[in-house]
Structure 1
Amino acid sequence: MKSDITRYQVRCIVEECNWRLRIVKVANSYYFQIRRFNHEHTCSNEARFLHQRQASARVIGEHIKEKFHDHRSYKTEEIIQDIHKEFGISCNYHKGYRAKHIALDEVQGTPVDSYQILPSYL
């Protein structure tokens, strides 16, 4: 809410929530002191984190693995666009890349699995 070199005030992102923190600088020192702290959120977790919707690379990989059965050249950029269109989730390139390889491992198996199967063919 407010901050400068002598005070710092924050509140929950949900305006109706009662969670607040106010700290002030102790005179002639580098220390701050908590003056007021209401640690109880009166809002739900969903309301607090709605603007930060995310999914792990594993969840994305599980969702897109079916697309690798038909569309083998599913590019990372396409994964990022599709996840954003379907779920409104922002996904960076690195997470999209990891999701792609998780999905490929689910469909094709991992290189380690293939190496363990190799002796049975010999």
Structure 2
Amino acid sequence: QTNTSVATSLGPHFFPQISLIFLDMLTVYRMYSELVSSTIAEGGPYASKSSFVKLLRSIKRETLKLIETFVDKAEDLPHLGKQFVPPMMDPILGDYARNVPDARESEVLSLFATIINK
């Protein structure tokens, strides 16, 4: 949440910070997504309402919100398209497609709508 607030305030000047943490964020996103999917697959639809799954999903949503904020404020669009969008395709968009419906995050669609509109 702190990084999202800073990205909102700094706008394109947040680039050095997100460059340092971006790939790690995608790794964490992927790991948490796998945990959510496996927990829901094993526990059924009621597992999606457990506090553990809710915590993991909130972290995923914050990650998506940070990336969306950065993309929205970015000014160097060619660089954004080369350095940030390709690494997001499988961990985020591919994950959305593979997940069971109860594990999908609507913020993924919002993020990619922002990318397309930029």
Query: TM-score category by the smaller chain?
Result: under 0.3
Higher relative contact order (CA 8 A, sep 6+): 2
Q: Give the TM-score taking structure 2 as reference length.
A: 0.25
Q: Give the TM-score taking structure 1 as reference length.
A: 0.24
Larger strand fraction of residues: 1
Larger Rg: 1
